[in-house]
Amino acid sequence: MVDISVVIVNYNTQNYLKECVESIYNCGFNLSKLQIIVVDNFSRDTSILNLKEYISKNRDFTDLDIVVNDSNLGFSKAINIGLSRCNGKYVCILNPDTFVKKDCFTNMKSYLDLNPNIGCATAKVLNSDNSLQISCKRSLPGIVNSFYKIIGLDKLFPNNKHIGSFNLLYLDEYAIHKVEVISGAFMFLRSETIKRVGLFDESFFMYCEDTDYCLRMNKQGIEVYYYPFAEVVHYRGKSANSHPFKVIGYFHDSMFKYYKKHRYENRLWREVSFLIMLSIKVKKYVSYFHLMIKRILKRYE
């Protein structure tokens, strides 16, 4: 019986993928109880080759499956391909540019085993300098907290319970607490949760698919928790850094799509939601312009 199925979607992460799988190998969890599924979105680098070379030298992986797509299908479609192959009691969705720390899986499994009311949880996700990656736990985007975030007010008052509610920085990062949204970099779910909620929405090519999934869990009364006694390092955006203009487009288009999909039924809030959607479109092109200016200035340095 497989305890944990790990699904990793890879796209041009070079050596990070191998290091991620190696960290799983060394995290202390019983490998015979572990299933690893790597879904590659038509990478043009050596990340899959590096992984295959590593596996050939480490035969202890009894259940590791590599699926190579013939095009870049996007994150959600690739995740769903991986989920369709999972056999574990639990499923861990894991980014390829992560490093799983010692006892992470053991502690996550023990916590959910002891708390059957929890349907999904995240570990404490760290930046490369071991600081908390604030996107790993947050609130669902609403009218008010989205407004504060878009205008940047949340950065001025990050620890304010009202203004900084989006990233929940007023909560103790060393304490367990219930949250509404966790990052797709590390999602630890019961297989029953996936059966109840369904697969990821494939209309989200990249970004916001985790927020959408958390909202769907929330609507079904499934509890989501932040568990800081298991840790993973996320080097963040390594597959996205090579295509900054595309990433800006994907990010803002997905945000727009999320708000359009989950617009409020109340007329007033629906109109306010429309203004937020409009501001997302404006911010997208401002971001394009800002990146273009940065590149021009860099040429003359």
Supply the CATH number for residue 164's domain. Answer: 3.90.550.10
Kindly state whether residue 65 falls inside one of the protein's structural domains.
Answer: yes
Kindly state whether residue 239 falls inside one of the protein's structural domains.
Answer: no
Q: Are residues 39 and 154 in the same domain?
A: yes
Q: Are residues 270 and 188 in the same domain?
A: no
Q: Are residues 176 and 229 in the same domain?
A: yes
Q: Are residues 176 and 273 in the same domain?
A: no
Of 234, 260, 278, which one is at a domain's C-terminal end?
234
Q: Are residues 230 and 269 in the same domain?
A: no
**Residues 6+ positions from 269 with CB-CB distance below 8 Å:** 143
Q: How many residues does the chain have?
A: 301
> Residue 90 pairs with which residues in a beta bridge?
4, 190
If DSSP states are collapsed to H, E and C, what string results for 62-131? CCEEEEECCCCCCHHHHHHHHHCCCCCCEEEEECCCEEECCCHHHHHHHHHHHCCCEEEEEEEEECCCCC
pTM, entire model: 0.85
Of 177, 212, 234, which one is at a domain's C-terminal end?
234
Of 213, 234, 255, which one is at a domain's C-terminal end?
234
Q: Are residues 183 and 279 in the same domain?
A: no
Which range marks the domain in which residue 248 is found? Answer: 244-299
Q: Are residues 272 and 175 in the same domain?
A: no
Q: Are residues 148 and 51 in the same domain?
A: yes
Kindly state whether residue 57 falls inside one of the protein's structural domains.
Answer: yes
Kindly state whether residue 220 falls inside one of the protein's structural domains.
Answer: yes
pLDDT attached to residue 153: 82
**Residues 6+ positions from 170 with CB-CB distance below 8 Å:** 159, 160, 161, 164
Kindly state whether residue 156 falls inside one of the protein's structural domains.
Answer: yes
Q: Are residues 28 and 125 in the same domain?
A: yes
Kindly state whether residue 88 falls inside one of the protein's structural domains.
Answer: yes
- For 34, phi then psi, to 5°, come to -125, 135
Structurally, the chain folds into a number of domains equal to: 2
Kindly state whether residue 32 falls inside one of the protein's structural domains.
Answer: yes
Q: Are residues 249 and 140 in the same domain?
A: no
Tens-level pLDDT at each residue, the chain (301 residues): 899 999 999 999 988 999 999 999 999 999 999 999 999 999 999 999 999 998 888 766 668 999 999 999 999 999 999 999 999 999 999 999 999 999 999 999 999 999 999 999 999 999 999 999 999 999 998 778 877 877 778 888 888 888 888 899 899 999 999 999 999 999 999 999 999 999 999 988 887 798 999 999 999 999 999 999 999 999 976 555 556 656 665 666 667 777 777 765 545 455 556 566 656 555 554 564 455 556 555 655 5
Q: Are residues 150 and 266 in the same domain?
A: no
Q: Are residues 181 and 288 in the same domain?
A: no
Coil, strand, or helix at residue 133?
coil
Q: Is the dihedral of CA 269, 272, 278, 284 positive or negative?
A: negative
240: left (phi over 0), alpha (psi -120 to 50) or beta: alpha
